[in-house]
Amino acid sequence: MSKTFYTKDHEYIRIDGDTGAVGITDFAQGQLGDVVFVELPQIGTTRKKGEAAAVVESVKAASEVYAPVAGDVVEVNGELEENPAIVNEDAVGKGWFFKVKIADPNELAGLLDEAAYRDLIATLL
Protein backbone atom coordinates (compact mmCIF):
# COMPACT_ATOMS: atom_id res chain seq x y z
CA MET A 1 0.00 0.00 0.00
CA SER A 2 1.42 3.37 -0.96
CA LYS A 3 1.44 6.42 1.28
CA THR A 4 1.72 9.99 0.08
CA PHE A 5 3.53 12.86 1.79
CA TYR A 6 3.67 16.55 0.86
CA THR A 7 6.06 19.49 1.15
CA LYS A 8 5.17 23.08 1.96
CA ASP A 9 6.44 23.88 -1.55
CA HIS A 10 3.64 21.74 -3.05
CA GLU A 11 5.58 18.66 -4.10
CA TYR A 12 4.36 15.20 -3.23
CA ILE A 13 6.11 11.88 -2.81
CA ARG A 14 4.09 8.68 -3.16
CA ILE A 15 5.95 5.90 -1.36
CA ASP A 16 6.10 2.37 -2.74
CA GLY A 17 8.59 0.24 -0.82
CA ASP A 18 11.95 2.02 -0.72
CA THR A 19 11.18 4.35 -3.64
CA GLY A 20 8.91 7.32 -4.08
CA ALA A 21 7.31 8.97 -7.09
CA VAL A 22 7.74 12.75 -6.93
CA GLY A 23 5.61 15.39 -8.60
CA ILE A 24 3.72 18.60 -7.98
CA THR A 25 0.36 18.68 -6.25
CA ASP A 26 -2.94 19.42 -7.89
CA PHE A 27 -2.95 22.77 -6.08
CA ALA A 28 0.45 23.64 -7.58
CA GLN A 29 -0.53 22.75 -11.13
CA GLY A 30 -3.70 24.80 -10.72
CA GLN A 31 -1.64 27.83 -9.66
CA LEU A 32 0.78 27.37 -12.56
CA GLY A 33 -1.86 27.08 -15.26
CA ASP A 34 -1.21 25.23 -18.51
CA VAL A 35 2.06 23.31 -18.23
CA VAL A 36 4.04 23.63 -21.47
CA PHE A 37 7.46 22.14 -20.60
CA VAL A 38 9.02 19.80 -18.04
CA GLU A 39 12.75 19.29 -17.50
CA LEU A 40 13.46 16.02 -15.71
CA PRO A 41 16.56 14.95 -13.79
CA GLN A 42 18.95 12.36 -15.18
CA ILE A 43 18.58 8.78 -13.98
CA GLY A 44 21.41 7.92 -11.63
CA THR A 45 21.83 11.41 -10.20
CA THR A 46 21.64 11.93 -6.47
CA ARG A 47 19.55 14.69 -4.93
CA LYS A 48 19.66 16.05 -1.40
CA LYS A 49 16.45 16.84 0.45
CA GLY A 50 15.27 20.27 -0.68
CA GLU A 51 17.57 20.38 -3.70
CA ALA A 52 16.17 21.38 -7.10
CA ALA A 53 15.54 18.23 -9.10
CA ALA A 54 13.30 19.21 -12.02
CA VAL A 55 11.75 22.26 -13.69
CA VAL A 56 8.16 22.82 -14.72
CA GLU A 57 7.19 25.69 -17.03
CA SER A 58 3.70 26.95 -17.65
CA VAL A 59 2.17 29.80 -19.58
CA LYS A 60 2.44 31.84 -16.34
CA ALA A 61 5.81 30.93 -14.84
CA ALA A 62 8.71 28.52 -14.50
CA SER A 63 9.22 26.75 -11.21
CA GLU A 64 11.71 24.33 -9.76
CA VAL A 65 10.59 21.02 -8.33
CA TYR A 66 12.52 20.15 -5.18
CA ALA A 67 13.41 16.70 -3.89
CA PRO A 68 11.25 16.00 -0.82
CA VAL A 69 13.85 13.49 0.44
CA ALA A 70 17.44 12.62 -0.40
CA GLY A 71 18.11 9.76 -2.77
CA ASP A 72 19.08 8.51 -6.20
CA VAL A 73 16.86 9.16 -9.22
CA VAL A 74 15.94 5.69 -10.50
CA GLU A 75 13.27 6.53 -13.09
CA VAL A 76 11.81 9.54 -14.91
CA ASN A 77 8.42 10.01 -16.53
CA GLY A 78 9.49 10.43 -20.14
CA GLU A 79 5.87 10.88 -21.22
CA LEU A 80 5.99 14.39 -19.74
CA GLU A 81 8.65 15.47 -22.24
CA GLU A 82 6.30 14.60 -25.11
CA ASN A 83 3.08 15.68 -23.39
CA PRO A 84 3.65 18.03 -20.41
CA ALA A 85 -0.11 18.69 -20.19
CA ILE A 86 -0.40 15.35 -18.36
CA VAL A 87 0.60 17.34 -15.27
CA ASN A 88 -2.58 19.43 -15.62
CA GLU A 89 -4.74 16.41 -16.36
CA ASP A 90 -3.52 14.11 -13.55
CA ALA A 91 -0.84 15.78 -11.41
CA VAL A 92 -0.82 13.20 -8.61
CA GLY A 93 -1.34 10.20 -10.87
CA LYS A 94 0.14 9.95 -14.36
CA GLY A 95 1.81 13.36 -13.95
CA TRP A 96 4.64 12.25 -11.64
CA PHE A 97 8.08 13.63 -12.59
CA PHE A 98 10.66 11.16 -11.25
CA LYS A 99 11.16 8.29 -8.84
CA VAL A 100 13.79 8.36 -6.16
CA LYS A 101 15.32 5.54 -4.13
CA ILE A 102 14.97 6.94 -0.63
CA ALA A 103 18.33 7.29 1.15
CA ASP A 104 16.92 7.94 4.65
CA PRO A 105 13.31 6.98 5.40
CA ASN A 106 13.49 9.12 8.56
CA GLU A 107 13.33 12.22 6.33
CA LEU A 108 9.69 11.39 5.61
CA ALA A 109 8.84 12.39 9.18
CA GLY A 110 9.54 16.04 8.26
CA LEU A 111 6.90 16.04 5.52
CA LEU A 112 3.17 16.73 5.73
CA ASP A 113 0.51 14.03 5.66
CA GLU A 114 -2.64 14.57 3.60
CA ALA A 115 -4.61 16.23 6.42
CA ALA A 116 -1.79 18.65 7.25
CA TYR A 117 -1.37 19.51 3.56
CA ARG A 118 -5.11 20.20 3.21
CA ASP A 119 -4.84 22.51 6.24
CA LEU A 120 -1.92 24.32 4.58
CA ILE A 121 -3.91 24.80 1.37
CA ALA A 122 -6.87 26.17 3.33
CA THR A 123 -4.66 28.98 4.64
CA LEU A 124 -3.72 29.92 1.06
CA LEU A 125 -7.22 30.14 -0.37
Residues 6+ away with beta carbon under 8 Å from 70? 46, 47, 48, 49, 102, 103, 104, 107
How does pLDDT run across 41-64, given as a tens digit for each residue?
999 999 999 999 999 999 988 999
Domain count, the chain: 1
* CATH number for the domain that contains residue 45: 2.40.50.100
**Contact, 71 vs 56, CB < 8 A?**
no
pLDDT digits (tens, 9 = 90+) for 58-85: 998 899 999 999 999 999 999 999 999 9
Q: Which domain holds residue 34?
A: 3-124
Global confidence as pTM: 0.94
